[in-house]
Amino acid sequence: MVNPAMVMKIMNAKKKFTNNHPKFVAFLSAMFGTGIPEDTVIELTVTKPGMQPVTTNIKVKKEDLELLDSLKDMMK
């Protein structure tokens, strides 16, 4: 069962994130909006203050596509 209070909390957090990071949200919309085909490589780098960057990546499998579609739907 969906908790309406939790949905509102997530929607408010999404709105705040979008306002704080509009270029990042636009990038995600552009990349995921057209669909992510199988075998796409998604790479992420995190650089914490005073630390060296850490990078990882995934190669999208057929089984991953449902999750990616759900994430795309959440961005709307």
The conformation of residue 46, written as its DSSP 8-state character, comes to: E
- Among candidate residues 32, 60, 55, 58, the one with its CA nearest the CA of residue 44: 55
Mean local confidence (pLDDT), 12-26 = 94
pTM above 0.85, yes or no: no
Q: Is the pLDDT of residue 68 over 90?
A: no
Mean local confidence (pLDDT), 52-64 = 95
Q: What per-residue confidence (pLDDT) applies to 61?
A: 94
Estimate to the nearest angstrom the gap between the alpha carbon of 40 and the chain centroid. Answer: 15
